[in-house]
Amino acid sequence: MKRKLLICIPALLVSLIALGPLCSFNAGLDKNKSAMGQASSCGSPGEPGTCSRSGCHGAGSGGLADNAGPGSLTITSVPAMSSNNYVPGQLYHMTVTVNESGKAHYGFGCEILDNSGNTNTHTNNTAGTITVTDAANTTTWQAYGTGRLAITQNSSGGYSSNGASFIFDWTAPASGLVNIYLCGNATNNDGSADAPDNIYSLNRQLSPLATGIAELETEAVSMHAYPVPAHDVLYLSFKTMEEGHLLVNLYSIDGLLVRTLENKGVEAGPYNQSYAVGDLPKGTYVIRMEVGNATHSKLIMIQ
């Protein structure tokens, strides 16, 4: 009997690992504190739906249907994607925000897929490249080990009052239609998947612009900010393609001007500057640089 038990336990573990967590934003015990969030429940083709499906949160557990709650779900990028068009090869700093008053824990799941319509979740048809930029709050997870890639909150992310934001980078593919499947969860953090948890979801299709990143960069300024995250001092390394008036502003994540870092005339060429930021509240900010008609924006974190 002991030999049989030793044989069966690894088999059971293999089965559990192969399935992986499907939906777990309501951080209670065990799987609800999983770092794998909502893999396989972003509402993309072939998946069982979003986290409002039966046995998870929201409508399937007696709550409201997707987007019927009093909150909201948004996804934005820097630089912005005008009219749902992306620049091939462009690096985008993405921000997902889940808002709902009165909740204690928030999560998200996002998949960015090609337009093949693939319904086999074991096949990875992710479009472009998703990169974790805030490992303290987000992680990636491939459904079934080799399937499509999702980025989600991790075991420590999303604990907040009235809403939470999550950031990551996405490098656009060289061509083709792209589909964003996004789901957010606002929960009461009671350890159960029940009616008080509300689900928000959206799908967005992006089309490639004819002009790629290499062509646009000849007209733009370039900028590198470090360290990541910044603490007391933020360093900027930037290059202007032409002389003009340089304006560098620091904005909050909701677009409010926090501080003007530079406001002066410059000649074309490389520059390296440092700025004291230790007095600023911890969080995510946007740096926007303007020289003439050229602009460049970048997300930074201050801790």
Beta-bridge partner residues of 100:
none
pTM above 0.75, yes or no: no
Mean pLDDT for 169-184 is 92
Which of 155, 188, 208 terminates a domain? The answer is: 208
Same domain as 52, residue 167: yes
Residue 264 pLDDT > 80: yes
Query: Could you tell me the CA-to-CA distances from 13 to 18, 153, 155 in Å, in that order?
Result: 9, 24, 21
In tens, the pLDDT along 18-53 reads 223 334 443 332 233 333 444 568 899 998 888 887
Same domain as 225, residue 192: no
Residue 1 pLDDT > 60: no
Helix (H, G, I), strand (E, B) or coil at 223: strand
* pLDDT value, residue 39: 53
Band (pLDDT 50/70/90 cuts) for residue 240 is confident
Same domain as 166, residue 113: yes
Mean pLDDT for 68-94 is 88
Residue 58 pLDDT > 60: yes
Which of 187, 208, 229 terminates a domain? The answer is: 208
The domain that contains 242 carries what CATH number?
Answer: 2.60.40.1930
Mean pLDDT for 45-63 is 77
Residue 7 pLDDT > 60: no
CB 177 within 8 A of CB 205: yes
Instruction: Look up the domain containing 278 and give its range.
Output: 219-302
Helix (H, G, I), strand (E, B) or coil at 5: helix
CB 291 within 8 A of CB 266: yes
The domain that contains 122 carries what CATH number?
Answer: 2.60.40.4060
Mean per-residue pLDDT of the chain = 79
Q: Provide the domain count of the chain.
A: 2
Q: Tell me which amino acid residue 89 is.
A: G
Same domain as 289, residue 160: no
Same domain as 160, residue 67: yes
Same domain as 238, residue 107: no
Q: Tell me which amino acid residue 121 is.
A: T
Residues 6+ apart with CB under 8 A from 163: 71, 97, 98, 99, 100, 101, 106, 186
